[in-house]
Structure 1
C-alpha cells in the first residue's frame, strides 16, 4: 500500500544553532506579587497610599510626621511598610530630632561610625558638594549587612536637592527571589554567604581609615535567602557592596553565582524610583529591599540625613 504525503502540509523550518549566554538576566514574563499569598489586603483608614510601582513603593498622603504616632496609626503604617517595602512622604521638613522620634516607633536606633555624623551619633549626614567624597552612590546595596544584626529599616530625609537628578531607587528582593529559575532557588535556599564592610567602604576610604574598625566589624555569615520576620516571605539577601563569597563553594563558582544574584536588583519591574523634593522623607524596610542613590547631578549639592533602626539576626 502506498502512503501519500500532502505536499501542502507545513513543516518546521530548520534553524541555525543559537543560545543565550548562561548566567544572565532572564527574559519574559515576571511574577509580581506585592504581598505574600493569603495576606489580608485591606484599605487603609488613617491615610491614603498612592502606589508608585507594581510591588514596591507608595506615597503616603494625609499625615504630619512631626506629630506623635498613636498605636493604631503606627500599626497601620507598619502594615503599609510590609506591603510596599518603602514609603514616601512629601514635604515633611522634620528636624533631626523629629526624624529620630519617628524612627524610634520601630525600635532602637543604631549608629554607624563609618559614615559622617549629623547632630547626634544616630544621624548620618550625606553632604555631597563639589569635590565631596562619593560614598554609597551608583551601587545597589542593602545597608549594613556586615553587622550580625543588619538594620530593620531606615528613615532618609533630603535637606537640599540639586536642580535635577539625585533620585533614589529601591528594588523588591522578594520579587527578585520569586523570579529566579527554580534550579537557582534550589541551590541557594539553604546556602550561606559571608558579608564584610571592607569591599564596600574601600571604594572611597583608605586602608588607614578602615583598619581601626576590623575588630568591631569582623566578617559575618547570613543566609543567601532570608525569611522576613513579619511576613514570612523568602527574600534574596546578598548585595554587591558587602557580600564577598558563598560558603562551601570554590571562589570561581561563588563569584559566578553571586554575579547572577546581584543582577536581580537591576530588573526594572522590581524597582521604584523617587524624585526628591526638599523636605521629602522615605522610610524603607532594609530587610526586604536594596537601594541605589543615583549620582547624576554633577557639581550641584545634595544633602540628606538618615536614621537607621536596629534589626534582628537574619534567618
Structure 2
C-alpha cells in the first residue's frame, strides 16, 4: 500500500520518536497556612454504613440539607406519642440529627411532656428559667443580656453527662433574622485528614463552664457554681450510643485543652477542630415562624443562634433531656 502524502509514520524497522515532555512552568512559592479548613469535595454520609434506611410510615419527612435537618409533617405534638410513633421519631432523629415541626404552639407543659418521651429533664441554674425550673427561657430585646448566640457550641458539655438532646420552641419571632443553625459533627469527623483523626481518636479534652458563661456573667455571678460544676474530661471523639458513629466532641464554648499536650499544641489542634462546625456542607439553617419547634440530638451536633435581628424581640423556650457519659 502506498503511504499517504505527509504521513509521519516511522519507516519499517525503526523506533518511533517520543516527543519530549513540555517543561513544567515555574511558579512563585505559594502555600496556605497550615491547619486551615480543607477546600474541595467532602464525604457526606447521612447515616452509618450498613444502616437500614427504610421509609417512614407515620409522618412525612422533608429533608432540609444533605446530612442534617428534616422537617416532620403530619403530626400534632400536643397529643401523646404511641410507642410506635416515638420509635419512628427516634429513628428520624438518629438519621437527621435535628427535626423541625412547624406551628406546633405547644404550651410549656406540653413541650416538657413531649421531651419526656426521651428521658428525664435537665435543669440549668446558670440560665433564666421559664414556667418551670426545667424550662430555660431566652427573652432577647435590644440591650438585653447576651447569652449563647453567635458561637458554635454543644450544650452543657461541662457536665459529666451532657444533655442527650433538647427541644426548643420560638414563642416570639423577629420580623427578620434570628435563625438557628446546626452542624453535623459526624460529617465533621469523617472529613478530617487521616493524620488528624489518628491523633484524636484516643485523645481526651477538658470541658469547663467558665469560658462560655464568662462571656456574659461576672466573676461574682460565676463563682458560686465552681463546686457544682468542676472541670470534666470527655473524649475528643465520642461514639454515638445508638448508631455507633464517631463524632467530633469539642466546642469553642466549653473545651479548654487537650489532655497530655502543651498549651500551644493544644490550642493549635483545638482551633482546627473548632473550625469544622463552620463548613456549610455540614450545616442546616432554620428560619423560624411563631410556634415552630426543633428537636436536636445534642450528642451529634453543634448549634449557632444568629443574633442579627437588631432591636426586635426574640423569645424562645428550651427543654433539655438528661444524657449519658460520653465514651
TM-score normalized by structure 2? Answer: 0.94
Deviates more, 1:98-107 or 1:14-23: 14-23
Secondary structure of residue in 2 paired with 1:169: strand
2:52 equivalent to 1:40: yes
How far did 1:10 drift?
2.9
Pick from 137, 141, 144 the counterpart of residue 125 of structure 1.
137
User: Which residue is 2:29 aligned to?
Assistant: 17
User: Which residue is 1:261 aligned to?
Assistant: 273
2:98 equivalent to 1:86: yes
Q: Which runs of 5+ in 2 are unaligned?
A: 1-14
How far did 1:18 drift?
1.7
How far did 1:8 drift?
6.7
Deviates more, 1:7-16 or 1:108-117: 7-16
How far did 1:16 drift?
2.4
- For 1:177 and 1:83, the matched residues in 2 are separated by 16
- For 1:5 and 1:33, the matched residues in 2 are separated by 49
Pick from 139, 153, 163 the counterpart of residue 165 of structure 2.
153
- For 1:47 and 1:4, the matched residues in 2 are separated by 69
Q: Which runs of 5+ in 1 are unaligned?
A: none
After TM superposition, the structure 1 = structure 2 runs for residues 231-310 of structure 1, keeping only pairs within 5 Å, are: 231-310=243-322
- For 1:133 and 1:19, the matched residues in 2 are separated by 42
User: Which residue is 1:52 aligned to?
Assistant: 64
- For 2:19 and 2:27, the matched residues in 1 are separated by 21
User: Which residue is 1:174 aligned to?
Assistant: 186
User: Which residue is 2:3 aligned to?
Assistant: none
Secondary structure of residue in 1 paired with 2:72: strand
Secondary structure of residue in 2 paired with 1:292: strand
How far did 1:12 drift?
2.4
How far did 1:130 drift?
2.0
Secondary structure of residue in 2 paired with 1:255: helix
How far did 1:129 drift?
1.2
- For 1:278 and 1:311, the matched residues in 2 are separated by 28
- For 2:142 and 2:189, the matched residues in 1 are separated by 39
- For 2:273 and 2:18, the matched residues in 1 are separated by 51
Equivalenced residue count is 313
2:229 equivalent to 1:220: no
The alpha-carbon distance between structure 1 residues 187 and 8, as it changes in their structure 2 partners (threshold 3 A), is: closer
Q: RMSD value over aligned CA atoms? A: 1.2
Secondary structure of residue in 2 paired with 1:287: coil
- For 1:9 and 1:258, the matched residues in 2 are separated by 45
TM-score normalized by structure 1? Answer: 0.98
How far did 1:239 drift?
0.1
- For 2:132 and 2:30, the matched residues in 1 are separated by 59
User: Which residue is 2:154 aligned to?
Assistant: 142
